[in-house]
């Protein structure tokens, strides 16, 4: 198989840094993008690893120009991996507009703009090179399912991202392009830490003065995590990077061989356990409130949801 060309965002630390090193080690080529990449990753440049200065919050026009630049580096791109993300703890009441806007710009609108700008190129490649099978991956979070207090905006941005990926995959799968959201549990990354570039909206945790009534709740959450930090970060960066590549490449790797395409993939035993708990609890509530749901149907409706609608909303291949 010819080497694939990857474009990865958010590569200067954490999962992104581990990814670009693993991609090159697997024999593929990668365009590592992010802010101040020359300063942070310049020593890694090679014939297989190129750098692209990219701020995914720069807006639609600027990102479109950057995607044209990225495509020209190796002449094409096979895999886009939207990995850049941000997080901070902040109560819903104290959050400033600046914090909310920037968090959604990084976690949702930025990946949307990057994907939108690159899609025409990927469509053309899929049509002209039938064996290319372009892929688009997104680093999401298990909090898309399992919201924590004081992380409401982060959870909302990731839930919106994963929902976007589900719909996008349905739009482009018939064109030969597949999409997946990687919903990660706890990993030792820099998410939630002050940013090196001094972004006050995140470094200051994004809020005005926290009302005192929220103090006990915030202290309890912080105390839970700080009591044994590594117990809440079971993930290993050196393990997640190869699995992301395996899921997107589908080149016979043992753990994913024979499995159907999954638009949502969970990483971490904590992600698995918390998402499963959420699904089980939702099923309990669905049954409990079934009569409430049915009570809003118009008179005479048979309460039978049409199979074509269920097929359109399904995330399993049938």
Between CA 11 and CA 15 the distance in angstroms is: 7
pLDDT at 193 over 50: no
In a domain, 318, yes or no: no
In a domain, 128, yes or no: yes
Q: Which of 65, 157, 53 is nearest to 105 (CA)?
A: 157
Beta bridge partners of 93: none
- Summarised one tens digit per residue, pLDDT across range 97-116 is 999 999 999 999 999 999 99
pTM of the entire structure?
0.91
* Count of domains observed in the chain: 1
In a domain, 305, yes or no: yes
* 128-132, 250-254, 278-282: range with highest mean pLDDT: 278-282
Rg of the chain over all Cα atoms, to the nearest angstrom: 21
- Summarised one tens digit per residue, pLDDT across range 204-218 is 555 567 788 888 888
Sign of CA dihedral 295, 296, 302, 306: negative
- Summarised one tens digit per residue, pLDDT across range 148-189 is 999 999 999 999 999 999 999 999 999 999 999 999 988 876
SS3 sequence, 170-216? HHHHHHCCEEEEEEECCCCCCCCCCCCCCCHHHHCCCECCCCHHHHH
**Which strand (E) or helix (H) includes residue 267?**
strand 264-267
pLDDT of residue 218: 84
74 contacts: CB under 8 Å, gap ≥ 6: 5, 29, 31, 50
In a domain, 169, yes or no: yes
- Summarised one tens digit per residue, pLDDT across range 41-79 is 999 999 999 999 999 999 999 999 999 999 999 999 999
In a domain, 139, yes or no: yes
What domain range includes position 72?
5-313
The domain that holds 200 is classified in CATH as 3.40.50.720
In a domain, 65, yes or no: yes
pLDDT at 2 over 90: no
């Amino acid at each position: 198989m010819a080497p694939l060309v990857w474009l990865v965002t958010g590569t200067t630390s954490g999962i992104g840094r581990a990814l670009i090193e693993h991609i090159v080690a697997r024999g593929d080529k990668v365009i590592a993008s992010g802010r101040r990449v020359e300063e942070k990753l310049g020593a890694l440049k090679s014939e297989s690893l190129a750098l692209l200065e990219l701020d995914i919050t720069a807006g639609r026009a600027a990102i479109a120009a950057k995607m044209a630049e990225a495509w020209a580096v190796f002449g094409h791109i096979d895999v886009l991996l939207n990995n850049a993300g941000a997080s901070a703890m902040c109560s819903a009441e104290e959050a400033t507009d600046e914090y909310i806007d920037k968090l959604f710009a990084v976690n949702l609108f930025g990946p949307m703009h990057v994907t939108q700008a690159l899609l025409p190129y990927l469509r053309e490649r899929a049509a002209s090179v039938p064996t290319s099978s372009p892929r688009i991956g997104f680093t999401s979070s298990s909090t898309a399912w399992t919201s924590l207090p004081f992380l409401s905006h982060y959870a909302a941005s990731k839930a919106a991202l994963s929902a976007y990926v589900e719909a996008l995959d349905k739009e482009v799968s018939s064109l030969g392009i597949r999409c997946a959201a990687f919903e990660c549990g706890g990993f030792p990354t820099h998410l939630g830490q002050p940013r090196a570039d001094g972004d006050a909206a995140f470094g200051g945790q994004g809020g005005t003065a926290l009302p005192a009534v929220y103090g006990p709740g915030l202290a309890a959450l912080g105390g839970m995590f700080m009591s044994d930090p590594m117990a809440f970060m079971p993930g290993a960066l050196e393990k997640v990077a190869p699995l992301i590549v395996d899921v997107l490449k589908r080149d016979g790797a043992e753990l994913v061989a024979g499995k159907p395409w999954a638009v949502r993939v969970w990483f971490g035993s904590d992600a698995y356990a918390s998402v499963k708990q959420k699904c089980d609890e939702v099923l309990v509530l669905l049954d409990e409130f079934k009569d409430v749901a049915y009570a809003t149907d118009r008179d005479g409706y048979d309460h039978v949801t049409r199979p074509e609608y269920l097929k359109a909303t399904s995330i399993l291949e049938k």
